[in-house]
């Protein structure tokens, strides 16, 4: 079975990314924006193997946090931490309808996180470097694995209502039988997998 081979070759954590980069370039490459960084747009990659769902969310930080520079105040640091908590709370971001899926793994990567607490140690020079660095854009990624009671036939991307700065979510999925893509937005949250 293709999915099983992939599972071993790529490891469970990076299956979705691996699917895109290794086996299905003709499918994904036409519509995916993995390298693009467009504020307001985000990507959701979904790999489904029977009752197991793996998802990768990729977004400019501006859609998720509202900013892409290093947090400049306690309020902004608080926002980073709260956002991380929300991104880890998969039940508030996705609904699988009848399939009742439960998240058993979530890995959230926010920018800046590792820097918090080290600010005091920065020299003036280091700060200059930081400022240069943070003129660049920043990304957020989150990876989820769900185990479901039955194979899901739909996914509702509640995360669009949680993060209203995501104007357009490009969802792409692959199952053992089929694959597809759908553009989601505030008026269209549901992915039909059938
Ligand atoms: Zn940006």
Q: 136-148, pLDDT tens digit by residue?
A: 799 999 999 999 9
CA 177 – ligand 1 centroid, Å: 36
Burial class (CB in 10 A: 0-12, 13-18, 19+), 86: middle
Would the pLDDT of 22 be above 50?
no
125 backbone dihedrals φ, ψ, rounded to 5°: -60, -45
Q: Tell me, what's the pLDDT at 118?
A: 43
Lowest-confidence region among 64-73, 78-87, 119-128, 174-183: 119-128
- 8 A C-beta contact, residue 157 and residue 44: yes
Q: Among residues 33, 83, 77, which one has the least CA distance to residue 61? A: 83
Residues facing residue 143 across a β-bridge: 56, 107
Burial class (CB in 10 A: 0-12, 13-18, 19+), 174: buried
- 8 A C-beta contact, residue 186 and residue 161: yes
CA 49 – ligand 1 centroid, Å: 33
CA 59 – ligand 1 centroid, Å: 9
For the stretch 57-95, pLDDT in tens is: 999 999 999 999 999 999 999 999 999 999 999 999 999
CA 127 – ligand 1 centroid, Å: 20
- pTM, rounded to two decimals: 0.76
Q: Tell me, what's the pLDDT at 91?
A: 94
* Other residues' Cβ atoms within 10 Å of the Cβ of residue 183: 11
CA 128 – ligand 1 centroid, Å: 20
CA 153 – ligand 1 centroid, Å: 33
CA 4 – ligand 1 centroid, Å: 36
Q: How confident is the model at residue 36 (pLDDT cuts 50, 70, 90)?
A: confident
């Amino acid at each position: 079975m293709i999915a099983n081979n992939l599972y071993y070759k790529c490891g469970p954590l990076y299956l979705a990314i691996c699917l895109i980069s290794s086996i299905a370039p003709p499918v994904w490459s036409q519509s995916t924006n993995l390298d693009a960084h467009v504020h307001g747009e985000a990507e959701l990659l979904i790999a489904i193997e029977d009752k197991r769902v793996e998802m990768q969310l990729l977004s400019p930080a501006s859609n998720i946090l509202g900013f892409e520079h290093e947090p400049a105040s306690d309020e902004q640091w608080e926002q980073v931490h709260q956002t991380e908590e929300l991104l880890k709370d998969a039940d508030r971001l996705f609904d699988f309808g009848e399939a009742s899926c439960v998240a058993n793994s979530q890995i959230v990567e926010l920018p800046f996180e590792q820097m918090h607490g080290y600010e005091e140690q920065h020299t003036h020079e280091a700060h200059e470097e930081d400022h240069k660095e943070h003129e660049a854009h920043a990304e957020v990624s989150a990876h989820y694995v769900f185990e479901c009671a039955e194979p899901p036939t739909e996914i509702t991307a509640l995360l669009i209502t949680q993060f209203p700065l995501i104007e357009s979510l490009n969802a792409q999925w692959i199952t053992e039988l089929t694959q597809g893509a759908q553009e989601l937005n505030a008026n269209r949250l549901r992915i039909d997998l059938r």
